[in-house]
Amino acid sequence: MSLDTRLRTVFNTVLELDAKLPDAALRYQETPGWDSLGAVLLIAAIEDEFHVEIDTGRALKMNTFSATVGLLRELGAEA
């Protein structure tokens, strides 16, 4: 399973999203459930799934699905 697919599964599970919602539409404060609490839950789930640690500075840059994919690649997360 690709990194993108695994990450999307995390997003769908944590935020209880409709899988039909396109990745490009996933944005902080615009996506249902992706508010401040949702962001904390999402970060915890991403850290567990990909075995990475996301510091506060990086977490603040996770404002879109695409940015989160980029962050995971930067951290060396593997598919």
Q: What does the block give as tokens for 74? A: 């930067």
18: CB partners within 8 A, 6+ apart: none
CA distance 17 to 15: 5
* pLDDT tens track for 40-67: 999 999 999 999 999 999 999 999 999 9
pTM here is 0.94
In the chain, domain spans: 3-15+22-74
Helix, coil or strand: residue 27:
strand
CATH topology of domain 3-15+22-74: 1.10.1200
